[in-house]
Structure 1
Amino acid sequence: MNKENLENKITDATSRLITMASDFCWNTLSKNCYYILSEIDETIGKILFEKNKIRKKVNEVKTPKHLEEITQDLALLYTNLYDINFYIYKATKDKTIIEIKYFLKTSHTKDFYETIKNNDSMWHCKVAIPPYLSSIGKPIKEKKKFDVNWQLGGIRYEWNLFLYRFKYYLYKTRKGFTNF
């Protein structure tokens, strides 16, 4: 994979991610994109809330990079990349910061590495959906749009999470579940 092809793949993935996020989120997403790189570390916390706190703390100290710079960084890793995931980390009207999370082939077990060492990298675009949008005992009838920045916290997120937990509590008490 040459640098030009890698840059095109990153541009295509970015475009798909912004289109996908626009369908789910009410935010106006800027096409002025910057990037940060993160290695997927499966040893960090098992609980979603714990992972998000750690992720936010680590990402806040990173300096977002332009497409050309991130292409150079990924080019150095490319032959060892197993999985590449694009997420929107933070979005404002002026810029969108995209987190590129990657998983290395060498992070797998020795036996599995032997089966994947010559495989091309897998590319994914993902939009994280807040926990308060999950259904509580019933199917979701309508798609609600949400803030793309929900993982960064804030008053709106805390309020929606409080309402979700309260509805969950009511659901459990109506169904007769007392141990939860």
Structure 2
Amino acid sequence: MTQESLEGNIRNSAVQLIQLAEDRCWNKISHHLTFIVSDFNEFGENFRKKRKLRNKINKYKVPQPLDAVIGVIKKEYQDLYDINLYIFKALQKETIIEIQYYRKSNRELDYHDKIKDYPPMLHAKITQPGYSLEGEKFDVNWESGGGLRHYWKNFLYKWKYRRNLKKTKEIDHHTISTTEIQLMGSHSPLMEGWQKFKEFLTGWFTNFNFKKNQQVHS
């Protein structure tokens, strides 16, 4: 991907992103696309707070046509390592796509020297909520708030997860308790081994004492 082909490549990837969203999400996706631009560093390094901060920062950006924002990307082209397209928000008459870029200069010095002359990578991505990981469709706007249906699906997913986790802990506890009982039981493999060892020691001492007595009498 060259600086000259950058705009066309982003436009094509945006179309692929919309197709991906239509396939994976239950929302009706508008094909009227507008764009905002983000530097990966804008959102800090704390992963847990990043999504919340990203939404807070991005909602104040004014979405524009691609040809109005492409200049920002081209200006940073030589330092671009990776460009990712996300659907920031799908509205009824507009789909806002976030162009988020990651700089080569953010990489470690040794790695930066290896990639400094490489063209940037380009990806179109959709982040999935937990309840969709088995193939179920989801709300494309879940990261920027989501609707009532998303909240209900997410609630059920978390409830089932906690229930299954509780069952797993109960099974593990039962297994541990059963194992402890078996270890203490008279017919457990451990007790049988201990009995055999005691029998061996008893036989060995008996044989030892017998030989010792023979030596004394002789």
Whether the 8 Å contact between 2:138 and 2:150 is mirrored in structure 1 is no
1:34 corresponds to 2:39: no
Partner of 1:111: 110
Across the two proteins, how many residue pairs are aligned to each other? 169
1:123-162 Cα deviation digits (max 9, x unpaired): 001011012334xxxxx3xx21111101122433333222
Alignment equivalent of 2:157, drawn from 150, 157, 164: 164
The amino acid that maps onto 1:11 is R
Equivalence map 1:59-98=2 (5 Å):
59-98=58-97
Greater Rg over alpha carbons, structure: 2
Cα distance in 2 between the residues matched to 1:117 and 1:2: 15
Whether the 8 Å contact between 2:89 and 2:141 is mirrored in structure 1 is yes
Q: Which has the higher helix share?
A: 2
Q: Could you say what secondary structure the match of 1:83 adopts? A: strand
The amino acid that maps onto 2:120 is S
Cα distance in 2 between the residues matched to 1:26 and 1:132: 13
Cα distance in 1 between the residues matched to 2:52 and 2:152: 17
Alignment equivalent of 1:155, drawn from 148, 154, 157: 148
The amino acid that maps onto 1:151 is E
Q: Could you say what secondary structure the match of 2:31 adopts? A: coil
The 1:62/1:177 distance shift into structure 2, 3 A limit, reads farther
Q: 1:43: how far off? A: 4.0
TM-score, scaled to structure 1:
0.86
Choose between structure 1 and 2 for higher RCO, CA contacts under 8 A separated by at least 6 residues.
1
> How big is the alpha-carbon RMSD for the aligned residues of Structure 1 and Structure 2?
2.0
TM-score, scaled to structure 2:
0.72
Partner of 2:166: 173
Unaligned residue ranges in structure 2 (runs of 5+): 172-218
Q: Could you say what secondary structure the match of 1:61 adopts? A: coil
1:60-82 Cα deviation digits (max 9, x unpaired): 11111211111111111111110
Unaligned residue ranges in structure 1 (runs of 5+): 135-139
Partner of 2:15: 15
